[in-house]
Amino acid sequence: METVIERMRDGIEEAGMRRAGEILRRGGLVAFPTETVYGLGADALDEKASGKIYQAKGRPSDNPLIVHIADWEAIGKIAAEIPPGAKLLADAFWPGPLTMILKKSDAVPLATTGGLDTVAVRLPSHPVARALIRAGGGYVAAPSANTSGRPSPTTAEHVAQDMDGVIDMIIDGGSVEIGLESTIVDLTEGTPTILRPGYISREMLEGVVGRVEVDHALLSEDVNIRPKAPGMRYRHYAPRAQLVIVEGEQQRVRQRINELAAANAAEGRSTGVIGTQESRGCYANALVKSIGSRQDESSIARHLYGILREFDDSEVSVIYSESFDTPQLGQAIMNRLIKAAGHQIISV
Ligand code: AMP
Ligand code: MG
């Protein structure tokens, strides 16, 4: 299949958007930018179309898709019940990087929800995403547009690395703004519960709906506790090289990473380091990449997946990463980084 690239970095291009909408309406696949990461879209109400997403990504069929809408009113068709908290959260955070789990209506095929009787819904803020959802009929199922297990794409080039020749179209909207997937909050039972941390923090949610819990599995090192979001059960974002997080006081972290890099060099093994603008000059014997600045945590979030992909193109055999427990985004950043590292952490 030839994958058409539509360039919309400087705004929506009407003719291209019409073609994209037609592809979705006849059951095809279009990758598109959102404010979080690039999504791989299909008509969410067409089970054959959403089935193609699983195939293109190599995604396990029990890992449900998020349904993207462009207007609050659209929610009535896909949710069987709309709890009061959903309206409050939508007023506060939609359009934006928040996904809500609700009881699904019969309009949503089980192929889209991985067999569950609940549906994940998000109303993104990216203008290209919203125009595409409208052009495609109003309901677009879209997981991240990467091959399953690879880092989520934050540029159209990343999407092409994984999806060229596999899907009908990629809309190139340039680099995304946030770089981490949406916060997922479950509103189907009692207290709202965070199933995946993201840009919208627990404190922000609690400011709107009162007490919010976090899925116990996210806080525990015990691999026998199953996360409630099926997708959080799979190993994710793994770079090809071994990835190890080094955490602790910053000076000692730098020192330990330098010792490890020197030992690797003596054995003829090449090392990568994920540092920051502030620390990048402090390392030797390694290929050092700066993820962003500790003065600007959003820069760290935005570059995380791109850096993991860049290391996949290099020859390093082990990567050491600093730890980024920043105020608002730290939980979301470390959730992704720890998964990418397969829980390998050295504390100094
Ligand atoms: P992605 O679209 O790649 O960001 O992944 C979507 C995430 O949402 C995965 O972790 C899914 O398991 C999760 N998800 C989607 N629908 C549901 C649902 N109905 N209940 C719980 N988790 C869901
Ligand atoms: Mg994903």
Q: Give per-residue pLDDT as tens, 35-60.
A: 999 999 999 999 999 999 999 999 99
- Residue 237's pLDDT is 77
The closest residue, in CA terms, to atom 2 on ligand 1 is: 143
Predicted pLDDT at 235: 67
Ligand nearest to the CA of 120: 1
Q: Is the CB of 12 under 6 A from ligand 1?
A: no
Helix (H) or strand (E) holding 129, with range, is helix 127-135
Instruction: Look at residue 53 in the predicted model and tell me its pLDDT.
Output: 98
Question: Going along 226-270, which residue ranges are E strands?
Answer: 242-247
From the CA of 60, the nearest ligand is: 1
pLDDT exceeds 90 at position 221: no
pLDDT band at 233 (very low <50, low <70, confident <90, very high): confident
Give per-residue pLDDT as tens, 142-191: 999 999 988 999 999 999 999 999 999 999 999 999 999 999 999 999 99
* Four-point Cα dihedral 12, 15, 16, 22, nearest 10: 120
Q: Is 50 in the pocket of ligand 1 (CB under 6 A)?
A: no
CA–CA dist 178, 85 (Å, integer) = 25
Distances (CA, A) of 295 to 6, 201, 213, 298, 299: 35, 19, 29, 9, 9
271 lines ligand 1 (CB under 6 A): no
Classify residue 329 by its DSSP letter: T
Residue 180 neighbours by CB under 8 Å, 6+ apart: 36, 37, 198, 199, 301, 304, 329, 332, 333, 336
Is 342 close to ligand 1, i.e. is its CB under 6 Å away?
Answer: no
CATH 3.90.870.10 maps onto the chain at 4-233
Strand 318-322's sheet: what is its strand order? 287-290, 271-275, 318-322, 242-247, 345-347
CA 236 / ligand 1 centre spacing (Å): 13
- Show Cβ contacts of residue 254 under 8 Å, excluding neighbours closer than 6 positions: 279, 282, 283
CA distance 285 to 22: 52
Question: Looking at ligand 1, which residue's alpha carbon is closest to its atom 5?
Answer: 143
Domain 242-347 fold: Rossmann fold (3.40.50)
C-alpha atoms less than 13 angstroms from C-alpha of 308 in its C-beta half-sphere: 28
Query: Please, what CATH class does the domain formed by 4-233 belong to?
Result: alpha beta
Q: Is the CB of 148 under 6 A from ligand 1?
A: no
| Region(s) of the chain under CATH 3.40.50.11030 | 242-347
- The predicted-structure confidence for 72-119, as pLDDT tens digits, reads as follows 999 999 999 999 999 999 999 999 999 999 999 999 999 999 999 999
Ligand nearest to the CA of 141: 1
